[in-house]
Structure 1
């Protein structure tokens, strides 16, 4: 018998396994929790594993915070082979001898640290004229693309054996790790492709705190629920703002508040009596509602009708 779905709010750190798409992984976790509503915070390819935060219920309103956050990966790079897709999924299109010494490798890694420019790969979900680039790729077409700046905050060699490197990469949003692998290979003069990828961090979240599918399946429902993080865990990087119930009600009715908190303009995470109620935007001494929890809006609607 199919169990009924339930209203559930919170964030789960999930360790996505190999070969599952992010959406399939999401649906498996959603069914385990019997959640009415769920979403993830940025896709991982089926050939990638690692950290995939899954948001339930009201938490889906705040997924944008992680889409913009820095990411961290362990990237396995195979030297001497270029593939059609830049990763292990594609066909080998070129092989070259690998003649790399330690000094040359470290010089190249230093050169790719900081702000670099990347040409988005054709085998990607980036859209051109409303269609993902990978659809053009599958049709044998190539479209004009402009190089884009990204930031490689850290690029450290974790392991090197023969033709295989394992790199620890901390980077800005929008970074293509397969492109980074290919570009490093070209700079070394031997070509390369991305042989494996594991996401180990997003913002302040770490893979060490994530649960695998077998671990979740082995838990009872109370155990799984206990591993959910609160709604505001996605936005703890934003300044905190404490309001009273009257102010919160006015925001929920769409009003702006005259308010100064002595900090630069920008988003605020807002609380009433230490209870998180959503996000506001403070600009020029005016606080506007941004993303509020549904219960706050419903309470305001009740006040209007009485």
Structure 2
């Protein structure tokens, strides 16, 4: 079984689930999960977790992401992007300066109302299913944070900009809200995700390239191992007499790391330097407790 994370370039027309399904065929492996949905018409970085790395899916979903979007002013649609039904059209008489000032006013903490055409569930049903039935339900605003916004190109009614944001941010909704604040309406023309955590657009691979790498036997060189995902954590190697504790999933005494701040997470290795998982320092007990175990002795 392949264990690790592969940086996939999701192309237009594919859902995130399509990517997973195709990778299962290419890699001949069932245990695969993606790290956050991209709309079918969006493209760009989609980290995909393989094997034991599927435990990382939630961790990566929570990470800050960067997008490059094109906003089209003057049009309002039911999906908040150009794939939807046009609800309103307005002349665009605002200036470049007004547009830039308005876009930058969204920096920081914001409250967004999720769009009806989204995968969020209300009473067990996905919002987009209800939307397709012509139903609209009340959605509670959600707190999101926009850490950075850069205007890349302005040729009204089109504006290309990049945004770095927290999890749960809908760029479609941001475009809609910018248009509403300007008084002329707006929607998203296109979306490219350029970064998720350490995964950059320049390193992402299309499915065809991944398939070619598998056939050439070079796929492993593109894989980020589970261990690498936690390279920023300090490593702890236990002495041989503690191997049994570690292998049985128990906490282990912190005999060499007693000055760490409480709840510090570390990469834990047995005496043979086999990576076991992530442990958390418990200062009161002077031990390392289990956070996430990725490997067992049977894996080595």
Equivalent position of 1:178 in the other structure = 172
What TM-score do you get using the length of structure 2 for normalisation?
A: 0.90
Aligned residue runs from structure 1 range 25-64, under 5 A:
25-64=19-58
Asked whether the equivalents of residues 72 and 159 of structure 2 are also in contact (C-alpha less than 8 Å), the reply is: yes
- Classify the secondary structure of the residue corresponding to 2:291: strand
* Equivalent-residue separation in structure 1 for 2:63 and 2:263 (angstroms): 20
Rounded to whole Å, the distance in 2 between the matches of 1:216 and 1:255 is 38
Secondary structure of residue in 2 paired with 1:28: helix
Partner of 1:265: 263
Do structure 1's residue 208 and structure 2's residue 216 form an aligned pair? no
**Partners of 2:176 and 2:45 in 1: how far apart?**
23
TM-aligned CA deviation for residue 104 of structure 1: 0.9
* Alignment equivalent of 2:118, drawn from 115, 121, 124: 124
Question: 2:7 aligned with 1:13, yes or no?
Answer: yes
5 Å-filtered alignment, 1:99-248, equals 99-219=93-213, 220-248=215-243
Identify the residue that residue 66 of structure 2 maps to in structure 1.
72
> Structure 1 residues 246 and 150 mapped into 2: Cα distance closer, same or farther (>3 Å)?
farther
Q: Is the 8 A contact 1:65 1:235 kept in 2?
A: no
The normalised TM-score by structure 1 is: 0.88
Q: Would you say 1:249 and 2:249 are equivalent positions?
A: no
CA contact (8 A) 1:280 1:289 kept: yes
Q: Which residue of 2 aligns with 1:304?
A: none
In structure 2, do the counterparts of structure 1 residues 182 and 81 end up closer, same or farther at CA, with 3 Å as the change threshold? same
Compute the displacement of 1:192 (Å). Answer: 0.7
Residues 1:87 and 2:109 aligned together: no
Look up the match of 2:277: 278
Distance in 1, Cα, partners of 2:28 & 2:169? 34
Match of 1:290 in 2: 291
SS at match of 2:114: coil
- Taking the aligned partners of 1:100 and 1:236, their CA distance within structure 2 comes to 48
Is contact 2:11-2:43 (8 Å) kept?
A: yes
In the TM superposition, what whole-angstrom CA distance separates every residue of 1:26-72 from its partner, at most 9, and x where no partner exists?
Answer: 22123222234211111211111011111211111222221111001
Partners in 1 of 2:239 and 2:197 — Cα distance? 30
Any idea what SS the aligned residue of 1:124 has? coil
| 2-structure distance, mates of 1:213, 1:231 | 21
Cα RMSD (Å) of the superposition? 2.1
Q: Residues of 2 paired with 1:295 and 1:51: CA distance?
A: 31
Distance 1:221 1:275, change over 3 A: farther
Name the count of aligned residue pairs.
293
List 4+ stretches of structure 1 deviating above 6 A: none
Counterpart Cα distance in 2 of 1:45 and 1:245: 49
SS at match of 2:289: strand
31-40 or 109-118: bigger deviation: 31-40
CA distance in 2, matches of 1:239, 1:78: 46
For 2:126 and 2:238, the matched residues in 1 are separated by 44
Task: Pick closer, same or farther for the CA change 1:78–1:265 going to 2, 3 Å.
Answer: same
How far apart, in 1, do the equivalents of 2:299 and 2:13 lie?
A: 44
Residue by residue, what CA displacement relative to the aligned partner does 1:141-200 show, whole Å, maximum 9, x if unpaired? Answer: 222222121110011111112311111010011111111110011111111111111111
